[in-house]
Structures are given as C-alpha cells and as structure tokens.
Amino acid sequence: MRKYFILFCLLPLISVAQISFEQKMKAMPVIQMANGITLTIDEPSINIQKPSKVVLYALPNGNTTAQTFGKKLAKGDDWHFNIQHIGAQTQFIRNTDPKHNYIIIYVENSLKSWPQWRRQTANADQFIHKIVDSLYHRYQNLRPNITLSGHSGGGSFIFGYLNAQATSLPNYIERIGLIDATYAYETEKHQQKLVMWLKQKHKFLQVIAYNDSVVVYNNKPLVSPTGGTWYRSKIMAQDIGKLKFRETIAQLAWQNKSGNISFSLIKNPEAKIFHTVLVERNGFIHLLFKGTNLDSKNYQFWDGSVYQNFILE
C-alpha cells in the first residue's frame, strides 16, 4: 500500500516534467480583444480556499507572448525565447509560495510595442483601464489582488493605466513592478497618484533598473540624458519621498522600512547593456516577492538564475 501511495504522489510531478513548451502554449486560454490586444492566461488549478494573485505582465518591445514565456533554445530558434523565461520564473514562484494562486496574464499588442500602440490607438489609456478592469471582474469571485508588471516598453502600459485614473488607483491593485520600464514616468502625471495609492495598506511598488546612461550602442548613446531608466527611476524615487537611500559598490537603493517600496538601480562601470539581464537574473521573482516574507528565499536578485529546471523544451 505504501508503494502505491508514493507512486500516486509522484504522478503529478511526472506529468508536469513531461509537458512540452508547445503543449503548454496550446493549453493556455487566449482572449482576443479590440485594438490588436491579445491576453494569454497561465492559470494553475485554482484552489478557492487560497487567496489569489492576478499578475498582468505587459510584454517588452519586440517580444511575442511565446518568446516572453520562454523555452530551451533548439537549433534555429529565435534568441528572444531565451531572455525572459517568465514561464519558468512563474513556476519557481508557485513552488516557493504554495499558499496563493498565481494567475499570470501576458498582455500583448499587435505592434509589439506599448509606446507605439499608445501613440497610434485612440483613447489608448482608457482602453488599458478597460483591460485591467475586465480582468479583475473575470476573477472577482476569487477576490484577487492585482499586480501590474512589465519590462522595457511594457512600462508604458502601466503608466497609461495611471493616466486613466482620476486620482489614485483602485484598492484591488496591490503591487506595481517595473523592470527597466520607467521611461514613461512623468512627475506631473504620476507622482500624486502613486503617493496616494501607497498610503493605503498592503501596497507594493518595486522598481529595478540599471545605469543605461553610460551605454554607447552603434557609436551613439543608448538613451538621452533624461530619457533612460537610470534617470527616470531616480526622479521617481525622489518623488515618492520618505525613502532611505543607500549606496553600495554594486547599486543605488531607495527603500522604506518595510521594503514594500523599493528601488534597486544597478551600477554599470563597464557600460554594458543589462536591459534583459535584469529579468534573467531572477527579476520577475523579485518583483513579486520583494517586501514579503519570501524576499530572497531560495533566490537572490542579480545572482544566478534559480529557475533553470522549470524551463520547458
């Protein structure tokens, strides 16, 4: 009897290990919305006894959802499949925090660029608000907490959502996480809304960036003096106010006492391009765990990736 019990317990693990990348992509529900928006939902088996976290991940410029989910590269595969691995990082998150249902929603547009999509779409910010609101109502029976997250141009989706709010954000928005994605931050448009939202209990703002101001690409500066995430993130941290500043050899950091508000800006003395490396080095995991009791549990941000065993083939 004991042998059969052990075998029964192992069966789910075996089936998870055997699933292929192609099978996973086909299994995830896809919602086609107006204006070229595609939502792809990575939804686990929902346990209604557990609290639920719905995480919207706005795709970076140039990526499809499949590339953002990530896979082990085979001969001829596009390199974009190996720079995000949000799917594998999600599995690490679920394994580390079994007390919550983690529902990840990949938010993609047909132009593969949220800044460009917002420029070309009438009432773009109001439509972004509609997307977030519709997803909240989709899971309303689970009383979910919503996270808005994104990398690169995905930050434009989040700031568009902020633009659509009259004053502060809805209470169901629990966390905002930006990985090298603060290009669109403007003090006049966003400071007061963020400050008012953060005054509510159990709100989290996590910003990760690096010094892109020193990078030269194709004999030109990668960003303008005030247009990169190094500059915009520092302005954003100063605008939030009442944060303790700390500088180390590796980074600049602003954080409040509880850690629910945190800015981690990686120094770059060798002027390298770390844009996607910030995600690769456990960045998505850190966005969701920073400020909680799982902060740095079995992982370290800006260290070796801890999710390799979860990357599908």
Which SS3 state, helix, strand or coil, does residue 244 take?
strand
Q: What are the structure tokens assigned to 107, written together?
A: 């938010």
Reported as a pLDDT band with limits 50, 70 and 90, residue 56 is very high
Predicted local distance difference test score (pLDDT) of residue 117:
98
Has residue 123 got a pLDDT over 70?
A: yes
Query: Of 121, 117, 120, which is closest to residue 150 (Cα–Cα)?
Result: 117
How many CB atoms neighbour CB 24 within 10 A? 15
Tell me the percentage of the chain whose pLDDT exceeds 90.
93
Q: Is the pLDDT of residue 85 over 70?
A: yes
Q: Dihedral through CA 17, CA 22, CA 23, CA 24, nearest 10? A: 70
What tens digit of pLDDT does each residue of 274-301 get? 999 999 999 999 999 999 999 999 999 9
What is the pLDDT of the chain when averaged over all its residues? 94
**pLDDT, mean of residues 99-128:** 98
Sorted by where each starts, the structural domains of the chain and their CATH numbers stand as 24-310 (3.40.50.1820)
pLDDT in tens, 4-24: 333 333 333 333 446 999 999
Q: What is the mean pLDDT of residues 256-260?
A: 93
Residue 177 CA neighbour count, 13 Å, CB half: 25
Looking at residue 18, its pLDDT comes to 63
What are the tens digits of pLDDT across the range 184-235?
999 999 999 999 999 999 999 999 999 999 999 999 999 999 999 999 999 9
